[in-house]
Amino acid sequence: MRFLEKAPAKINLALDVLYKRPDQYHEVDMIMTTIDLSDRIELSPLRTDEILIVSENRFVPSDHRNLAFQAAQVLKDRFGIREGVEIYIEKQIPVAAGLAGGSSDAAAVLRGLNRLWQLELSLEELADIGARIGSDVSFCVHGGTARATGRGEKVEKLPAPPACWVVLAKPTIGVSTQAIYENLNLDEASHPDIPAMIEAIKREDYQGICDRVGNVLEPVTVQLHSDVQQIKEHMHEFGADAVLMSGSGPTVFGLVQHESRAQRIYNGLRGFCDEVYVVRMLGGRVPLD
């Protein structure tokens, strides 16, 4: 018996950082949406009482550092489960890219083990448990489109944005999220207008969404990694309607309405960047299998 779950990546249509809290976390205000680029998670019961992570991707940790491992451990501890599970992770989402790959794997494991171990928890309960694993896990449990506040764990659902294509380009550099936050000067930052973005989403106003994308972390990452700025310029040049870095980077995404334009941007960027993807914005739902 195997349980399959899709773990879709997210992009941030808007990302704001408000202040640093006494507990050292940053208070954020983000608009996230899922895209059709997913890891595939396969859960198989084991006779032995252990959590086994299997992945062919050499960047995916196979021990407790893996967020998918932590998700299984938290459920085992909380509900006194004495069964083991093998978690096979077929990685499609680039690792450490600002696309929440690890968080989405953890969320998929929570959803999948809820079925496998017949825990009958609601998505809200799974999202609460997910918040203990990582700030983006709660959003990933629900998927779709949402505003995430607090340290990212308070999720307020939004309607799906109008259908469009997303071109993703990931430069071959590693970005340390911690270093980006350390270099962020909130007094000088230019903050996105989150309420205006929410209004544009509710109006199904594609151009309004494009006009309001913004990420307070982008100038910090650009200053440390000039490749990000170059990719942004190429995306604009090849005709993207909106261009933004996702999360703390380094992945840059461009939005377009027509597949032919997405293909043109893809073809143009292939010369500059090894990892380029064309996917649909999913927005409204999480495909469960």
Exposure class string for 185-199: b at 16+ Cβ within 10 A, else e: eeeeeeebebeebbe
Cβ-proximal residues to 285 (8 Å cutoff; 6+ apart), any chain = 143, 144, 160
**Cα(31)–Cα(1) distance, rounded to whole angstroms?**
37
Q: Identify the burial level of 221 via C-beta atoms within 10 angstroms of its C-beta, where 0-12 means exposed, 13-18 middle and 19 or more buried.
A: buried
CB of 248 to ligand ATP, least distance (A): 6
Choices 64-72, 161-169, 212-220, 279-287 (CB under 6 A): range interacting with ligand ATP:
64-72
**Cα(98)–Cα(72) distance, rounded to whole angstroms?**
23
CB of 207 to ligand ATP, least distance (A): 27
Binding-site residue set for ATP:
94-104
The residue with its CB nearest to ligand ATP is: 102
Helices within the chain (DSSP H only): 67-79, 101-116, 123-131, 137-142, 177-182, 194-202, 206-212, 218-224, 226-237, 259-269
Choices 58-66, 190-198, 223-231, 281-289 (CB under 6 A): range interacting with ligand ATP:
58-66
208 near ligand ATP (CB under 6 A): no
Residue 246 · residue 11 · CB < 8 Å: yes
**Cα(30)–Cα(66) distance, rounded to whole angstroms?**
24
Q: β-pairing, 214-215 with 3-20?
A: parallel
Whether 170 is catalytic = no
Report the residue from 20, 21, 64, 65 that binds ligand ATP according to the rule CB under 6 A.
65
84 near ligand ATP (CB under 6 A): no
CB of 86 to ligand ATP, least distance (A): 14
**Cα(262)–Cα(279) distance, rounded to whole angstroms?**
9
Residues 97-116, one symbol each (x = binds ligand ATP by CB under 6 A, - = not), give xxxxxxx-x-----------
Residues 224-263, one symbol each (x = binds ligand ATP by CB under 6 A, - = not), give -----------------------xx---------------
Residue 4 · residue 90 · CB < 8 Å: no
Using the minimum distance from each CB to ligand ATP, give the nearer residue, 220 or 238: 220
Structure tokens at 268: 């143009």
Binding-site residue set:
94-104
Q: Which amino acid is at 59?
A: F
Report the residue from 35, 43, 60, 201 that binds ligand ATP according to the rule CB under 6 A.
60
Report the residue from 66, 114, 145, 215 that binds ligand ATP according to the rule CB under 6 A.
66
Whether 274 is catalytic = no
44 near ligand ATP (CB under 6 A): no
Q: State which of positions 160-179 bind ligand ATP (CB under 6 A).
A: 177
Report the residue from 40, 81, 88, 95 that binds ligand ATP according to the rule CB under 6 A.
95
CB of 263 to ligand ATP, least distance (A): 25
The active-site residue out of 136, 170, 227, 232 is 136
Q: State which of positions 115-144 bind ligand ATP (CB under 6 A).
A: 136
- Whole-angstrom CA distances from 121 to 5, 75, 79, 168 are 16, 11, 11, 34
Q: Which residues bind ligand ATP (CB under 6 A)?
A: 60-61, 65-68, 89, 95-103, 105, 136, 177, 247-248
Catalytic center residues: 10, 136
